[in-house]
Amino acid sequence: MKRVSYVAAAAALAAIGVALYGGAGGSAAPQSTFVLLDGSSRTTADFKGRVTLVNFWATSCTSCVAEMPKIIATHDTYRARGYDTVAVAMSYDPPSYVVNFAQTRKLPFQVAIDNTGAIAKAWGDVQLTPTTYVVNKRGEIVMRYVGEPNFSELHLLIERLLAEA
């Protein structure tokens, strides 16, 4: 019985998260620097002009690992049209695990390690994984998902945002 109430609570939290960020416009994405696995870096300023999915995840998070093929497929579907993905590994995730995961699964998008927790803090003190943000071409957060997104709805949102000038 307890398990059912935990699932219901998680679903309610996810719905609240979607409701809070479900508008067409949003708040500016926080200024952050993402240090990528190849040693290069990106900032939120680099998102301008592209629709970007920022996914906070961990190799120890079974939901994160389960949704990763859908994130890959989404990235592959839309990347030629101005869509990008940044997967941000949480500070508690051992870097060697993150590198191994990215290499063995041939992640086609950029992977950052938030080794200090500063990125998660800046993006609303993210503590639950997966937590995913959709950023529009103007650099505004337009959606936040706590838990796995409904990928059909996410694809509709991406299509709409890509069509905007």
Maximum separation of any 2 CA atoms in the chain, in Å? 49
The structure's pTM equals 0.85
Q: How confident is the model at residue 1 (pLDDT cuts 50, 70, 90)?
A: very low
Q: What is the pLDDT of residues 43-63, one digit of tens each?
A: 999 999 999 999 999 999 999
21 pLDDT above the threshold of 60: no
- Structural domains of the chain, ranges and CATH numbers in brackets: 2-163 (3.40.30.10)
Give percent above pLDDT 90 in the chain. 84
164 pLDDT above the threshold of 50: yes
Q: What is the mean pLDDT of residues 65-93?
A: 98
13 pLDDT above the threshold of 70: no
Residue 32, CA distances (Å) to 44, 83, 155, 165 in order: 6, 19, 25, 25
- 99: helix, coil or strand? helix
62-78 helix and 151-163 helix, angle to the nearest 10 degrees: 30
Q: How confident is the model at residue 165 (pLDDT cuts 50, 70, 90)?
A: confident
